[in-house]
A and B are shown apart, each in its own frame.
Chain A
Amino acid sequence: MIIKLLDEHDTVMIGDFITNAKPTEQILNADKIFEKIISNNNYGGFAVIEDGKIINVLFFRIIRSIKAAVLDIIWIRDGYSFIDSYGPEIYDQFLEYLETNQIWNYYTFSEKRNSEKFEKVFSRLVKNRKNYDCYIDEVLPPNYFSKHYLHFWTLMNGTLRPYQTAIRHYVLKQEYRQSV
Chain B
Amino acid sequence: MEILVLDESYEQEILDLVKKKKKFSHQRLTDEVLTNLQLGIRKSLKNRLKNRIVGCIDDGRLTAVVSQSFDNNYPCWYMDYFVSDDNSLTFNNGHGDSINACLLYAMQDAESRGFLDIYYSVPIQYLRTQQKTHPSSPAWSRYDIHIERIIPPNKFPMIEIHKAVYGSILKPHAVVIKRATLRDDLRISLLENLK
- Report which A residues bind B (CB closer than 8 A): 63-67, 102, 104-105, 113, 133-139, 147-151, 169, 171, 174, 177, 180
Contacts and interface: CB of A to CB of B under 8 A. Distances in A.
Residues of B in contact with A, size category: 20 to 34
A134 B181 CA distance: 10
A135 B181 contact: yes
B9 interface: no
Contacts, number: 68
A15 B6 CA distance: 58
A113 B190 CA distance: 13
B108 to A, nearest CB: 17
Nearest to A148: B75
Interface in B61-117: 72-76, 114, 116
Interface of B: 72-76, 114, 116, 144, 146-150, 159-162, 179, 181-182, 184, 187, 191-192, 194
B74 A150 contact: yes
Given A135-B184, A138-B194, A64 B75 contact: no
Contact of B146 (A63, A65, A169, A174): A174
Contacts of A67: 148, 159, 161-162
22 contacts: A65-B159, A66-B76, A66-B160, A67-B159, A67-B162, A133-B144, A133-B181, A133-B184, A135-B182, A135-B187, A136-B187, A137-B75, A137-B116, A139-B192, A148-B74, A149-B73, A169-B181, A171-B146, A174-B147, A180-B147, A180-B149, A180-B150
